[in-house]
Amino acid sequence: MAIRVYKKVTAGRRNASVNLHTETTGSKPAKSLLVPLPKHGGRNVQGKITILGRGGGHKRRYRKIDFRRNKDGMAATIVSIEYDPNRSCHIALVRYTDGEVRYILAAKGMTAGAVIESSNEMIEPKVGNCMLIRHIPTGLAVHNVEMEPKAGGRLCRAAGMSARLTNKEGRWATIVLPSGEIRQVSMDCRATIGEVGNADHANVILGKAGRNRWLGRRPTTRGVAMCHHQHPHGGGEGRSKGGQEPSNSSGTQAKGGRTRRYGKSSDERIIRRRRSTRYGQLVL
């Protein structure tokens, strides 16, 4: 079992659990693929807080991930499966036959010593292989899906996520995303076969506020508890929103309202939107 549930010996351990990361095999990351990751505490270049609830947390170093998978026609051997503090899934260190090493997202079922490949042509559709969607058989689960050709994977990169390739017609392929959204992507986009690993990440219960602070998440103050000039819900006598619809500190709707401003060309390729609610009504 990959999740360990602690005994209720203290208040902090009550209902807490931890991921054992049994799939990982490597302990130290590759130094050539590490870069510093400075902290900003949710502040912009002017020093003003633009994202609430950020700050503190353990020091991290960023692992450079190969989302493009563009080293074609060359086999790669999986050296190790490693933990990445910057994302929910595990990452795999692969070494190509020319000696180059890269990090990729670790798929479910990946093991050290396995050989994977990426190509523009049709190759064996096994877990970890990456190729154009036009060459992937329909019905398979894929992850790290590109939205634009050669732009790198953007969809289905979190732990346990995968999209299902359902149809291919003309220049477009249809995929079903974990959110329920059905959209089209170009047949020239790349995707990786399989489901992202470490699905048990969703089952971990932090158990105490301190573990949230280790992750860099500070306490959240309710809007109705603020002053009127700090939040639209603030001010007034008693707990009152003042007739304001549920929103964040900048006035953006917080309960199902649409907030997308850009991406018109991307929206045109959506066949069915993910289910969302706004004021109790279903929005498709």
pLDDT digits (tens, 9 = 90+) for 230-241: 899 999 888 888
Q: Tell me, yes or no, whether 230 lies in a domain.
A: no
Q: Tell me, yes or no, whether 210 lies in a domain.
A: no
Tell me which long-range contacts 255-261 makes (C-beta under 8 A, separation of at least 24): 255/279, 256/283, 258/283
- Which amino acid is it at 226? M
pLDDT digits (tens, 9 = 90+) for 176-196: 999 999 999 999 999 999 999
> Does the pLDDT value for residue 283 go beyond 60?
no
- Identify the pLDDT of residue 276: 56
Beta bridge partners of 145: 155
pLDDT digits (tens, 9 = 90+) for 89-148: 999 999 999 999 999 999 999 999 999 999 999 999 999 999 999 999 999 999 999 999
Q: Tell me, yes or no, whether 274 lies in a domain.
A: no
Q: Tell me, yes or no, whether 128 lies in a domain.
A: yes
- Identify the pLDDT of residue 280: 44
In this prediction the pTM is 0.89
- Which amino acid is it at 125? P
- Which amino acid is it at 30? A
- Residue 39: CB atoms within 10 Å: 13
Q: What angle do CA 22, 11, 14 make, to 5 degrees?
A: 40
> Pick the residue with more confidence: 220 or 1?
220
Of 127, 99, 103, which Cα lies nearest the Cα of 115?
Answer: 127
Q: What angle do CA 50, 53, 59 make, to 5 degrees?
A: 100
Expressed as residue numbers, the domain containing 36 is 24-201
Residue 75, token pair as written in the block: 């086999």
Q: Tell me, yes or no, whether 34 lies in a domain.
A: yes
Q: Tell me, yes or no, whether 240 lies in a domain.
A: no
Burial 138-152 (b: 16+ CB within 10 A, else e): eeebbbbbbbeeeee
Q: What is the mean pLDDT of residues 72-94?
A: 96
Residue with tokens 């050709």: 149
Which helix (H) or strand (E) segment is 273 a member of?
none
Residue 89, token pair as written in the block: 């899934």
Q: Which of 85-89, 176-180, 258-262 has the lowest mean pLDDT?
A: 258-262
Residue 275, token pair as written in the block: 């289910």
Phi, psi of 7 (to 5 degrees): -75, 155
CA torsion sign for 198, 199, 201, 204 is negative
Phi, psi of 31 (to 5 degrees): -65, -30
CATH number at residue 41: 2.40.50.140
Q: Tell me, yes or no, whether 250 lies in a domain.
A: no
Of 134, 123, 124, 128, which Cα lies nearest the Cα of 165?
Answer: 134
pLDDT band at 281 (very low <50, low <70, confident <90, very high): very low
> Does the pLDDT value for residue 1 go beyond 60?
no
pLDDT band at 250 (very low <50, low <70, confident <90, very high): confident
Q: What is the domain count for the chain?
A: 1
* % residues pLDDT > 70 (the chain): 96
